């Protein structure tokens, strides 16, 4: 079965919008897109008056190399959030189809499903926050078109073994698209053991989400990617707005991915990994800490005797962490993003000064 047969048939048949940029051939004077004839006063980039390429070839090339895929397997969007939304809209018919998720997990999968009026099948992670592959497969109904798996998972922090992803991809062939969210994969001690981008050619029903928001320090630029079968990429491009990527954001991404910037980013990933180990040990020795979940991401989920009091105490010290008590199995936990070594010391200091 062709993976596109899982997508909404009316979208496959739809005539997509054809933008001026897409239709433009060679030329010297472009008067085809109703752009201004002048750049704004003082603009550092005078091309800002022009619409951008829908998928800028320079950035596409750099990201394809970074993720080890072909250009036709890559879609660049406004954060991986946009790719999640596009996938749900492309594969789920309102009121009929569904997605599957494993709580506690990233909230946007369910939000996008609700916006599309798609169902949400919840198969909780096991008590130790590992993925229950058999339970997940047993819970699937024919309505499920997308299965989201987050690795390492937000907010619990554990990666899903490659073998589980491969098993799922095989089991879901012809039934559903498996969407593996690797937003935090760069932080894993051995990322090559976890990323599954290299499996795309073997499974046409596999898709991978990547982002420049975390390891690449560009959350404000909103650049994220979907890696998938070329037919899936082409389908999503048909429903994506015509000019999704702001020119200044593309320039920022290219700068952040220059060889020098990549070397610096790798150094910083090393600092995050070292701080993760240091903070895990240090937090385990703080009074009132019940458990620090083992994490392979740039955050720690920490259980406290009284998470609410600790949240307020950190806030009193000027430190904002994420209250994750609303998530199943994490009713006593806070999620603490790893900061610089000095920032992490400040967290420890405030926690140690706590009055019992």
Ligand X SMILES: Cc1ncc(COP(=O)(O)O)c(C=O)c1O
Instruction: Name the site residues for ligand X (rule: CB under 6 A).
Output: 79-81, 106, 150, 154, 181, 183, 211, 213, 219, 224
Distance of alpha carbon 224 from alpha carbon 83, whole angstroms: 8
Minimal distance, residue 313 CB to ligand X, in Å: 25
At residue 206, the 3 state secondary structure works out as strand
Q: Which residue, 91 or 216, is less far from ligand X as judged by CB?
A: 216
Cα dihedral 251/254/258/263 (nearest 10): 110
Q: Which residue, 55 or 213, is less far from ligand X as judged by CB?
A: 213
Q: Which residue, 119 or 157, is less far from ligand X as judged by CB?
A: 157
> φ and ψ at 23, to 5 degrees?
-85, -20
Cis peptide upstream of residue 235 (ω within 30 degrees of 0): no
> φ and ψ at 159, to 5 degrees?
-80, 160
Minimal distance, residue 2 CB to ligand X, in Å: 27
Task: Give the pairing type, strands 206-211 and 119-122.
Answer: unpaired
Q: Which residue, 195 or 213, is less far from ligand X as judged by CB?
A: 213
What SS3 string covers 300-352? EEEEECCHHHHHHHHHHCCCCCEECCCCCCCCCEEEEECCCHHHHHHHHHHHH
Minimal distance, residue 150 CB to ligand X, in Å: 5
Q: Which residue, 219 or 277, is less far from ligand X as judged by CB?
A: 219
Distance of alpha carbon 313 from alpha carbon 323, whole angstroms: 13
Minimal distance, residue 139 CB to ligand X, in Å: 21
Q: Which residue, 85 or 204, is less far from ligand X as judged by CB?
A: 85
Minimal distance, residue 142 CB to ligand X, in Å: 27
Tokens, residue 111: 């939000």
Q: Which residue, 33 or 255, is less far from ligand X as judged by CB?
A: 255
Q: Which residue, 158 or 211, is less far from ligand X as judged by CB?
A: 211
Cα dihedral 187/192/197/203 (nearest 10): -130
Minimal distance, residue 63 CB to ligand X, in Å: 13
At residue 229, the 3 state secondary structure works out as coil
In the bound complex, which residue of the shown chain has the CB atom lying closest to ligand X?
79
Largest CA distance in the chain: 73
Minimal distance, residue 129 CB to ligand X, in Å: 14
Angle at 200 between CA 96 and CA 188, to 5 degrees: 100
Minimal distance, residue 195 CB to ligand X, in Å: 14
């Amino acid at each position: 079965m062709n993976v596109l047969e899982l997508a909404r048939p009316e979208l496959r048949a739809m005539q997509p919008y054809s933008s001026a940029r897409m239709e433009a051939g060679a030329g010297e004077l472009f008067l085809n897109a109703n752009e201004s004839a002048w750049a704004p006063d003082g603009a550092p980039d005078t091309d800002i008056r022009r619409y951008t390429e829908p998928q800028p070839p320079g950035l596409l090339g750099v990201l394809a190399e970074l993720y080890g895929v072909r250009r036709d397997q890559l879609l660049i969007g406004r954060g991986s959030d946009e790719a999640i939304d596009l996938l749900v809209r492309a594969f789920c018919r309102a009121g009929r189809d569904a997605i599957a998720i494993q709580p506690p997990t990233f909230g946007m999968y369910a939000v996008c499903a609700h916006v599309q009026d798609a169902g949400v099948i919840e198969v909780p992670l096991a008590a130790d926050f590992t993925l229950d592959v058999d339970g997940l497969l047993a819970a699937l109904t024919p309505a499920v078109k997308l299965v989201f798996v987050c690795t390492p998972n937000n907010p619990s922090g554990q990666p899903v073994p490659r073998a589980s992803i491969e098993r799922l991809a095989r089991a879901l062939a012809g039934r559903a698209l498996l969407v593996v969210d690797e937003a935090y994969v760069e932080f894993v001690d051995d990322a090559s053991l976890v990323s599954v981008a290299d499996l795309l050619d073997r499974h046409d029903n596999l898709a991978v989400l990547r982002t420049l928001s975390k390891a690449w320090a560009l959350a404000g630029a909103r650049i994220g990617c979907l890696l998938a079968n070329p037919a899936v990429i082409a389908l999503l491009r048909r429903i994506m707005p015509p000019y999704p990527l702001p020119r200044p954001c593309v320039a920022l991404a290219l700068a952040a991915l220059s060889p020098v910037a990549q070397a610096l980013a790798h150094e910083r990933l090393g600092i995050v990994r070292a701080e993760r180990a240091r903070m895990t040990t240090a937090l385990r020795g703080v009074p009132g800490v019940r458990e620090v979940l083992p994490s392979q991401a740039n955050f720690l989920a920490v259980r406290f005797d009284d998470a609410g009091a600790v949240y307020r105490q950190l806030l009193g010290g000027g430190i904002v962490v994420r209250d994750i008590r609303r998530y199943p199995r994490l009713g006593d936990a806070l999620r603490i993003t790893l900061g610089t070594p000095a920032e992490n010391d400040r967290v420890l200091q405030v926690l140690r000064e706590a009055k019992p």
